[in-house]
A and B are shown apart, each in its own frame.
Chain A
Amino acid sequence: DTEVTQTPKHLVMGMTNKKSLKCEQHMGHRAMYWYKQKAKKPPELMFVYSYEKLSINESVPSRFSPECPNSSLLNLHLHALQPEDSALYLCASSQELPTDTQYFGPGTRLTVL
């Protein structure tokens, strides 16, 4: 089973709201990722967690706050977002090595009003 699940599928929020995106995998993977994807563009890496510790932050604004409660779960907390943050947010996971295959979830379509 190579499934990564994400909830919700769609999210609409105002600029003053606080919301969270959730990602889960049960493949025993030790690395988890958040990507942002705008229409007709490739995914852009935001954060990487390795063994539940934040390993890479690609200079993401602080209005995005990641959290890895355990090895199977990854959250992305959202606060005071801007309309330009509207995008598809993808979660991925992989074994432990940099060259291991990343498996992607279906994404959360976020719209910021």
Chain B
Amino acid sequence: AQSVTQLGSHVSVSEGALVLLRCNYSSSVPPYLFWYVQYPNQGLQLLLKYTSAATLVKGINGFEAEFKKSETSFHLTKPSAHMSDAAEYFCAVSRYGSGNTGKLIFGQGTTLQVKP
């Protein structure tokens, strides 16, 4: 069964520093992996999606993630943090449900704090 583990419930970086948010998955089939961001009192916004077309996936707002099968990881990075990046980040893997519908299995989330 698919599952997702996000290492670190809270990450704090200085503005301009590298952002690294960790995600490890378990899946018995090639996974479809997602990173979503949630700003306070808002819905989830898709940052990027891995679909096996390329191991390095570029997303919005300067974020990217690298799929490493050998490490079962899909870590999210951004070279230089901006104050506006402060938010909750969720890693997710899709799982087939019944009737050809899918279920997103979310990690517990990582709160990113950006200090001036």
Contacts and interface: CB of A to CB of B under 8 A. Distances in A.
A37 B111 CA distance: 15
Q: How large is the interface on B (under 10, 10 to 19, 20 to 34, 35 or more residues)?
A: 20 to 34
Interface string B19-47: 00000000000001010100001111110
Interface of A: 4, 6, 31, 40-43, 45, 48, 50, 53, 55-56, 88, 90, 92, 94, 96-107, 109
Nearest to B30: A99
A86 to B, nearest CB: 14
A102 B94 CA distance: 10
A41 B100 CA distance: 27
Majority secondary structure of chain B interface residues (helix, strand, loop or mixed): strand
Given A41-B109, A50-B100, A98-B96, 10 more contacts: A31-B102, A40-B88, A40-B111, A56-B98, A90-B44, A98-B101, A98-B102, A99-B32, A104-B36, A109-B41
Interface of B: 32, 34, 36, 41-46, 49, 51, 88, 90, 94-104, 106-109, 111
Contact of A103 (B46, B95, B102, B108): B46
Given A40-B109, A98-B95, A48 B103 contact: yes
10 contacts: A41-B109, A42-B106, A45-B104, A55-B97, A90-B43, A98-B96, A99-B94, A104-B44, A104-B45, A109-B41
Contacts of B101: 31, 48, 50, 55-56, 98
Contact of B43 (A40, A42, A98, A107): A107
Contact of B94 (A41, A43, A55, A98): A98
A68 B90 CA distance: 28
Contacts of A4: 43
B97 A98 contact: yes
A22 to B, nearest CB: 15
